[in-house]
Amino acid sequence: MSQPWGPQVVTGEAVALDLRPAALPSRVVAGLLDGGLQLLLLLVLGGLAGALGSQASEAAAGALFILVLVAVTIVYPVLFETLLRGRTPGKMAMGLRVVRDDGGPIGFRQALVRGLAGSFLERPGITLFVGGVVTSLLNRQNKRIGDLLAGTVVLQERVAASGGAVAMMPPPLAGWASGLDLSGLPDDLALSARQFLSRAHELTPQAREQLGSRLAAAVSEAVRPGPPPGTPGWAVLSAVLAERRRREEERLGRRRAQQGAGYGPPPGYGPPPGYRSSSGYGSPPAYGPPPGYAQAGYGPPPGRGPGPGTAGADATPSAPTGAPPERRPGAGGGTAAPGPGGFVLPS
């Protein structure tokens, strides 16, 4: 059965990661910075070797020059990538890091393979930089020859923070979320839900409704107990993610307190008005847009319908309380009604 939230990237420690391979231009700039430092180092060490070689034989001078060349072209990248866990001065300046294919840190073996391949095959090597550029362009993860041989990938560590909305706890769902069993919620599904909420304003209404409904259904099946009847899809995702973050903060606070750092666990959510117990919640009231969602493009999602005895000729059980009547095709406007997940923008 295919998962609606996309592929899963898991490290050797079973931690889901959102990896972003470094682009070719940033790698070229990092290589130029390292090349400039290597050239400066070659001039300094070459001058010292020339001064020492003038007093030695011709064979000794040649051997000393070879040692300097090996130190600059091979020892330089291998030493830095081993000691700095996959970074050289040029990569540090550009925010890049070399990791294994599974996301773990590289060791001396991977750094040595990359250094030898770079010196003899790429920089300049027998391919005169062409081999590394061509393989980077043909590979989806922008790997050069050394990366393919060593089983590594260069990642972009510093990524600009996105301005997406942060999942907030809807007050009517705080009592329900506090008693949730989140052990069945996989990390990749939670990551997909968080990315969806932060980027939902960039999607078309049809794509937002379709993907949001699928994610809300998957999250509702993974947690126990299920959400109250009639809860919009966005509210389910936001409540589960906010409760998951709160529990992680509590766990981190207890750990810091045990270590004597002076941090206590953050305060928990109190029961919202009208929800004194999680076992008798019944029908929730209409939901307004949570803080921060208006800027992300969310309008007021659909809420609960009117109670029995108040329905008119055109009223339906899913019509929100106090909301304008649903526009029907041909009645002026022709705007489609919100879908079952509550992700379609209102007119």
With CA atoms as reference, report the closest residue to 222 among 178, 168, 183. 183
pTM for the predicted model, two decimal places: 0.48
In this structure, are residues 90 and 33 in contact, taking their beta carbons and an 8 Å threshold? yes
User: Which stretch of 188-192, 221-225, 326-330 has the lowest confidence by average pLDDT?
Assistant: 326-330
Per the listing, tokens 């076992």 go with: 279
Q: What is the pLDDT of residue 13?
A: 47
Concatenated DSSP letters of 8-43: --B-TTS-B----BPPHHHHHHHHHHHHHHHHHHHH
- Residues 209-255 pLDDT 10s: 888 899 999 999 999 999 998 888 888 999 999 999 999 889 888 88
Residues 6+ apart with CB under 8 A from 276: 175
CA–CA distance from 307 to each of 284, 301, 315, 342 (Å)?
12, 19, 10, 20
Looking at the predicted structure, is the pLDDT value of residue 264 above 70? no
Q: Which long-range contacts (CB under 8 A, 24 or more apart) does 199-206 make?
A: 199/162, 199/164, 200/165, 200/234, 200/296, 200/297, 200/298, 200/343, 201/164, 201/165, 201/296, 201/297, 201/298, 205/336, 205/343, 205/344, 205/345
Q: Which residues of 5-35 are buried (b: 16+ CB within 10 A; e: fewer)?
A: beeeeeeeeeebbeeebbeeebbeebbebbe
pLDDT bucket at 141, cuts 50 / 70 / 90: confident
pLDDT bucket at 43, cuts 50 / 70 / 90: very high
With CA atoms as reference, report the closest residue to 212 among 197, 224, 226. 197
